[in-house]
Structure 1
Amino acid sequence: MTAPALARTSDDLIKAEEPVLAHNYHPLPVVVARAEGTWVEDVEGRRYLDMLAGYSALNFGHRHPALVEAAHRQLDRLTLTSRAFHNDQLAGFAGRLAALTGLDMVLPMNTGAEAVESGIKVARKWAYDVKGVPADRATIVVAAENFHGRTTTIVSFSTDETARSGFGPFAPGFRIVPYDDLAALEEAVDETTAAVLIEPIQGEAGVIIPNDGYLTAVRELTRRKGCLFIADEIQSGLGRTGRTLAVEHEDVVPDMLLLGKALGGGIVPVSAVVARREVLGVLHPGEHGSTFGGNPLAAAVGTAVIELLETGEFQQRAAELGVVLRDGLGELVGRGVLGFRARGLWAGVDIDPAIGTGREVSERLMREGVLVKDTHGSTIRLAPPLTVTAEELRSALAALERVLGS
């Protein structure tokens, strides 16, 4: 009879990863075994308040009942057909996502980076077929400090040397301008420009929010110059900022949206390019695809996500609880916090470097039972599930206050 396996500690499991996993991440030293709502539990049974929500992939919390039920229901029926055949979930998903975003057509994919890559391909095809840009001359204008993924094409227009170094040669066809700089953008756009691709709020850069009117001006400029406005809402979209989409804070409708993360409800990877009909209409059979893109399990979960957003409840929660978050962070400015940027339930917090790096502060918060993640330097990001309560937010802020004072 085989002896039962011994329980493995967090330290055991972290050490077991070392020889068999590529070292492309540097996670906090916590091993999550269970989760529900806004809370996770490690293998020893310690509980932590999740203030990261999978970089917004878990906008509706861990294992939201409606999403788990939708997944279970679909698992009992059909999981994958590939796009070689139709399935009975995809039309409903695409139709409701188009309606939610105010656009026309959907190209379903899996990951955020795949949505960005797909958006780039579609923009180039549109430039050649519709705008009349000469073959292989199309350009796309992007913003410095962007984060759109880590594929070889995407790192070609990154300004993060950690993401770029050692991965060349880089793909041509991109022009980089400073974020929130309309004069630089105006100068960069010319007759070869297929699209301007930006994040309405730059997440990885530290939740950088542009000046009021910037998105409106980008929309006007791209319309005037005859190119597409592509908004990467993979982190900022689907309720995070207090609106369904971050561009809605300026009542802007781009030509193309890139969505992901929360679209899969923290259950399956789901992403999508959503665009005007005349933009996505440039694709023809065989020109682009994905075996798993639009699979019935993903479509069923994605539809359940859309149903949650259609109520407006989560957008309202993010807006109202965002005030609690901003007020709490405001009280810490000058007491270890140099400054912060927040919109809805999303904040980048600049810690006094004398107190520690972002990584060190994140580790101290972990020991206080709160999970966040650092970004550049001494900046940490807060992005709790939209199901968080005011009491939980205040508890996390109290933990940050303790860490800053220790």
Structure 2
Amino acid sequence: MSEPSFPALKEIFNHARLQHIATQITAVHADFDRQRFLAACGDGLEGLSLMARLRRVTACLHQGLPADYPQALAILRRLAPRLDNRFVTLILPEYVAMYGLDDFDLSMDTLRFFTPFGSSEFAVRPFLRQDQTRAIALMSAWAGDDNEHVRRLASEGSRPRLPWSFRLEALCADPSPMAPILTQLREDPSLYVRKSVANHLNDITKDHPDWVMDLLASWPLDRPFCAWIARHALRTLIKQGDRRALGLIGAGHVAQVSVGELSITPTDIQLGDSIRLAFRLSSTVAVPQRLVIDYRVHYVKKSGDTSAKVFKLKTLTLPAQGVMEITRTQIIRNFTTRIHYPGQHAVDILINGECLARGAFTLR
């Protein structure tokens, strides 16, 4: 499992939080050795990453719980509502993933119980990898659960490329076993669930774009929830200008527009400054048009070459002969995933996947 570097986030598991966990588990299991737990968890804590701390706490809990797995889970079920942070509750499904693979049914039922307190999305994945057919059968039932967290788990836990977790290689190779679950959730009343479905489908587009578009084409995309999922599921393909993906959201045609008065200000900036994009979009036809408007920045790399990144700007319907002013402000700053280098950065205005105007700014 890979993870971003978030120095502040790992402090969720600091010494004060360890004290809280020890207090709460002692309240539900009087035989728990509080001092042993705190000593083992706290040893070298500062040098551990977020996920390493989570696993350390889980392993130290295991040392203080009964060796009998069902008894240990009964204690952790009582602990779940007493923990004071949703991320901290991930120690509970992590316990199931680390110690429960030999008791499939009890473990999966326990993951379903734990997920409303935080999420079991990471912990369910070892069970999917161990017995995909059996796990998906259970997750199909979860997709019809009354609790939105359980329904989301059916989609989120089975994402082929879930961030911070390992890939589910079998589902990367063949996503078809997930089609019934994703279809069942396509009009879920919870936005929380629909976002997961969209992200799941976006994962699949990395390996099987046509499969995703075939599935979406079979959905009633005139219905608002399905249309919303389609737009977000296809976002990577839309940024790439994929004509079929654009067509599924009603923007597959060549835009009949002109882009005028493009300005990028200021034209010379320092790292940490903002740029402002502004242009006038004018229809050249007497019918309304569905338009997907993005912009692409060609970032200068250390080698002097460039690497392009597309940013969403607007999706809109431009009236017949309509005119619209479009603006966007962006701060140019470093991230863990992108370091900026001096030089001229070209900026393209993309409309329905085609570049219709270009400007530039220079980073000093």
| TM-score, reference length from structure 1 | 0.22
Larger Rg: 2
Which structure has more relative contact order (CA 8 Å, sep 6+)? It is 1
More helix by share: 2
